[in-house]
Structure 1
């Protein structure tokens, strides 16, 4: 049994923490809203009233919060992880943040006596619930192997991709691909509907050919029904597209389709769709096409 402090029990964090409990680990959770902590306790975990209480005696500290500033707030300061976690503990940041911030925080963690891994995930809420997330990891290979049993409780594809910050770079590429694919699937569905095609049948045959992809598999059915209960919100994907466009600019890499998709994601957010699942981009495509939503 490993004692794990899990900070950030949102759409992704709570099911991940529950899977760690199911795997036999001692999980102490902290979240700003008490309801998520209560849900963890009901699943067999322990609730903490503060970060300091959560990380006391923990072998591993896991964080899963929305953005770079949130991670900095959680780990820094007199009440943060770095000030209270025991020396030698492993800090695994499952959040999706800027690669440069991740690399800088890894250095700060080392100064505090912690060993840091940036380990952003892909797979959405369904992947978190099923424990089959794809985890892209930056950090020391020996540390990755040490905590692999813990990672295997929440993920299926677990790959170290390089030194500190590398996991976040790969996650940015992941979000670039996912956003672009969602936009193209949305355009295809609106196009098919305009011609009166049975979209469910169309998706079945498209998914079996070269156009097949995970978005068709996991999202198309709900997109057709105009059901956009968030597994991953447009607000968060908008944030991630800001990360990838900024990182690409710093590297001198041109991503014309990615930049356009980032603008579309931002437009959907401005339209008031930010709290919807990122597949809600379909609503923007409908508006741009002058077609009334079926929602």
Structure 2
């Protein structure tokens, strides 16, 4: 296909998604960080100078932002999507922002004739670059049909769970598990480290048994490296997982669902954040648990 697709937000997930889409579509990319735009151009995308520039002649926009505030600014702020996109265009929100944020933006865009697909993704940057993401979709049939070729290029597993907001609801459930599993992996490997065990062997062994999880396999090598005093690559910032667990906490408190394990994980990430580690890879939690870094 030669359709033009704009990718707005070229961070840890946006850049590999743009790379994947550039294999099939004419992709234009924009980010507030010029270095990220340059990387997208190297991957086959065309650089846009602004959101308005990216939206010119574009009918499908993929949004990869950090949180609901960024989504609101991108969609409804000066020079944003509401001002830039033609009626009939479709905005695909791949970020984890919570159901209230995506519904508010979708309603505002709908007033201008712009459709929205609530499509948070899971799988991490490597799978994003391979078009192997899990995508949880909330959308009406018309918007989904318009975005489907783009979603199919990104996803190996795509599930439609309802209307706008339903994708965010399922992603929140997903992130409850991810946040707990990441904290559990950090605790387990911190203990293994104090016992003097070979951490790489621990990750390999644990990943084959009943204790296996995606987060252990994904975060485990970085946690092990950090516990050995090495600096692992930055793959998932601490403030991102903290933000996601905040969404979990807000939703479960509103619904009065008891989630004590998730609440403990949320407080762990908040504590590490308060110690100034927002921009670090979330593997930093493990060294703080052992006392080898200050809180």
When normalised by structure 1's length, the TM-score is 0.92
Deviation at 1:78, TM superposition (A): 4.1
What is the aligned-residue RMSD (CA, Å)? Answer: 1.6
Deviation at 1:13, TM superposition (A): 0.7
Q: Give the corresponding residue for 1:269.
A: 273
CA distance in structure 2 between the aligned counterparts of 1:220 and 1:265, rounded to whole angstroms:
17
Q: Give the corresponding residue for 1:259.
A: 263
Deviation at 1:107, TM superposition (A): 1.4
Query: What does 1:40-51 align with in structure 2 at a 5 Å threshold?
Result: 40-51=40-51
Query: Secondary structure, in 3 states, of the residue corresponding to 2:153?
Result: coil
CA distance in structure 1 between the aligned counterparts of 2:287 and 2:29, rounded to whole angstroms:
36
CA distance in structure 2 between the aligned counterparts of 1:259 and 1:114, rounded to whole angstroms:
37
Note the alpha carbon deviations across 1:180-236, whole angstroms, 9 max, x for none.
111111111122222233333333222222111112222212211114422110011
Query: Secondary structure, in 3 states, of the residue corresponding to 1:254?
Result: coil
Q: Which moved more, 1:134-143 or 1:161-170?
A: 134-143
Contact 1:62 1:91 in 2 (8 A): yes
Note the alpha carbon deviations across 1:81-117, whole angstroms, 9 max, x for none.
0112111111101121121111121111211111111
Residue 198 to residue 2, structure 1, CA distance change in 2 (3 Å): same
Please state if 1:230 is matched with 2:238.
no
CA distance in structure 2 between the aligned counterparts of 1:194 and 1:50, rounded to whole angstroms:
50
CA distance in structure 2 between the aligned counterparts of 1:196 and 1:5, rounded to whole angstroms:
49
Note the alpha carbon deviations across 1:22-60, whole angstroms, 9 max, x for none.
12x111111112222222223322211111111112110
Q: Which moved more, 1:80-89 or 1:197-206?
A: 197-206
Please state if 1:14 is matched with 2:54.
no
Contact 2:6 2:28 in 1 (8 A): yes
CA distance in structure 2 between the aligned counterparts of 1:205 and 1:229, rounded to whole angstroms:
23
Note the alpha carbon deviations across 1:227-256, whole angstroms, 9 max, x for none.
442211001111111111011111111111
CA distance in structure 2 between the aligned counterparts of 1:194 and 1:77, rounded to whole angstroms:
50
Q: Structure 2 unaligned segments of length 5 or more: list them.
A: none
Query: What does 1:58-207 align with in structure 2 at a 5 Å threshold?
Result: 58-207=58-207
CA distance in structure 1 between the aligned counterparts of 2:290 and 2:145, rounded to whole angstroms:
47
When normalised by structure 2's length, the TM-score is 0.92
Q: Which moved more, 1:123-132 or 1:64-73?
A: 123-132
Residue 9 to residue 121, structure 1, CA distance change in 2 (3 Å): same
Query: Secondary structure, in 3 states, of the residue corresponding to 1:219?
Result: helix
CA distance in structure 2 between the aligned counterparts of 1:225 and 1:94, rounded to whole angstroms:
30
Note the alpha carbon deviations across 1:132-168, whole angstroms, 9 max, x for none.
1211111114432442221122222211121101111
Contact 2:190 2:287 in 1 (8 A): no
Residue 228 to residue 175, structure 1, CA distance change in 2 (3 Å): farther
Residue 285 to residue 66, structure 1, CA distance change in 2 (3 Å): same
Q: Structure 1 unaligned segments of length 5 or more: list them.
A: none
Q: Give the corresponding residue for 1:54.
A: 54
Contact 2:92 2:147 in 1 (8 A): no
Q: Which moved more, 1:184-193 or 1:201-210?
A: 201-210
CA distance in structure 2 between the aligned counterparts of 1:139 and 1:197, rounded to whole angstroms:
48
Aligned length: 288
